[in-house]
Structure 1
């Protein structure tokens, strides 16, 4: 794989010394917010990982290679690039083969992290079962990736625009451990509770790391989903956010928005309807997940 992987100097050094490494996705840079706020936010998340004792490895596809970690110049270039592909398992190989530029979703980041020997990945929220999936069959590849690739993923649950009960059902069917951190309820991205009980609860990074190791010893495929609730001070309550989600979903349906375009459209509309609060909350939860990811990665070294 060495002809496909390019390690940033900081990540290469961490690999050589056995330091803790946390993978980070790149769609938050290319499909989450405009320049320069996207690059500033990515730099804040990387700094949070460093501040808590681990090395960040933001993953992206550039020039036919998988970049494990980005230099400041590469991060800036990615933040300003146009027509960047949003990559999941289905299109990762094609982008590499054609020398394209691509940002990795949860599924693609997991694949690349595993190739690089990185065991922990911190993100915002995973994809899942979309509302109306019983007729649209719109289910994120993230769920199947969690069942196949041995990476522990730290997220604030699944995005609240999704059908959360069905998402948990698919994760259970796929044999994916869903671990709520520090509480019994499964979080709902912008809100600390979805009203659904999480299958598992753990209260320390050491417990989560031990469960990751035990799955390896048992030979079980796949990773773990660690559902880390958004910090209290950044939360938007379900009573406030649910009507906004419903309104955004109605607009998406009326405009015929489908497939990969759904999530960016919904997040953009919610940003407008909440006057930016949804994005502020999103940044706060990603930072919190970076902190917990660093703690788990340290416990695994």
Structure 2
């Protein structure tokens, strides 16, 4: 990695020099998650949540073939309005750099870039996972394998609830990824605080999570940790309410022969319509909640 490939924002560079805690943030929520200017406003709000938690935010994106660890205000504005931005995972990160393109990082790509920059904690909304019908489609997110090999603690509200959650948990177990429920015994289900699935591990403080991260490093264990942080109670859409909406959206996708990469955007748009926007409000609330917990974990790692 050459010095001119990895670019640090002024705020992140200063934090590195001072030894302050840093939290990585992904950029697909900016380019593929919501329209401008709401996308930029949300990104700035999440960055402020990290700062209020005592850490420095590092929103990660690829701009003109360079990995940016933290975005300057004008760069964030430009990314929020950019067209033809690549959505990057492990498979296409190098190609984006080689071609000098702009790219937004998914969970997997953000983890890779965070490790390059020496950042150990990453806050996101929810991870990808095993898609429903994966036994015939073999559609499994690269996020799961990234968690098994890249030593970053990822804070999210579980896997996205449109996925096959039991199979996602099984794959994570097979890959040896610690799945930690924060403050409760059940794994949360993104928009809902409960999934009906008992968590393999439970931890009740940022200090415990940080200690587990340090112990994995000391033991030489590969991979990271998944911290599943339940959405705040006042923002959740209860499981009994959201499950029928998800099932209806899945049925609509099947009826319209929606497949491959088009499935997730279709489902999220359909659920947004059926919940009259509540799903997006909940999404923003859970991302902010994850950012605050991630800041506490990053601080506890020092």
Distance in 2 (CA, whole Å) between partners of 1:115 and 1:260 is 28
Q: Is 1:254 matched up with 2:255?
A: yes
Distance in 2 (CA, whole Å) between partners of 1:147 and 1:191 is 25
Aligned ranges for residues 1-301 of structure 1 at < 5 Å? 1=1, 2-301=3-302
Distance in 2 (CA, whole Å) between partners of 1:293 and 1:29 is 19
After TM superposition, give the deviation of residue 253 of structure 1 in Å. 1.9
Distance in 2 (CA, whole Å) between partners of 1:41 and 1:252 is 28
After TM superposition, give the deviation of residue 268 of structure 1 in Å. 1.3
Distance in 2 (CA, whole Å) between partners of 1:261 and 1:106 is 18
After TM superposition, give the deviation of residue 269 of structure 1 in Å. 1.2
Aligned residues: 301
Question: What SS is found at the alignment partner of 2:188?
Answer: strand
Cα deviation 1:216-256 (Å, max 9, x = unaligned) = 01000000000000000001011110111111111222223
Cα deviation 1:129-158 (Å, max 9, x = unaligned) = 000000000000000000000000000000
TM-score norm. by structure 1 comes to 0.99
Question: What SS is found at the alignment partner of 1:66?
Answer: strand
Question: What SS is found at the alignment partner of 1:57?
Answer: strand
Distance in 2 (CA, whole Å) between partners of 1:265 and 1:76 is 26
Cα deviation 1:150-181 (Å, max 9, x = unaligned) = 00000000000000000000000000000000
After TM superposition, give the deviation of residue 4 of structure 1 in Å. 1.1
Question: What SS is found at the alignment partner of 2:160?
Answer: coil
Distance in 1 (CA, whole Å) between partners of 2:296 and 2:263 is 33
After TM superposition, give the deviation of residue 261 of structure 1 in Å. 2.3
Distance in 2 (CA, whole Å) between partners of 1:258 and 1:123 is 25
Distance in 2 (CA, whole Å) between partners of 1:96 and 1:256 is 34
- Which 10-residue stretch deviates more, 246-255 or 191-200? 246-255
Distance in 2 (CA, whole Å) between partners of 1:44 and 1:204 is 24
Distance in 1 (CA, whole Å) between partners of 2:235 and 2:100 is 40
Question: What SS is found at the alignment partner of 1:112?
Answer: helix
Cα deviation 1:106-137 (Å, max 9, x = unaligned) = 00000000000000000000000000000000
Computed over aligned residues only, the root mean square deviation of the Cα atoms, in angstroms, reads 0.7
Cα deviation 1:11-64 (Å, max 9, x = unaligned) = 000011110000000000011100000000000000000011000000001111
Distance in 2 (CA, whole Å) between partners of 1:260 and 1:10 is 35
Cα deviation 1:49-103 (Å, max 9, x = unaligned) = 0011000000001111000000110000000001111100101110110001110
Distance in 2 (CA, whole Å) between partners of 1:295 and 1:92 is 29
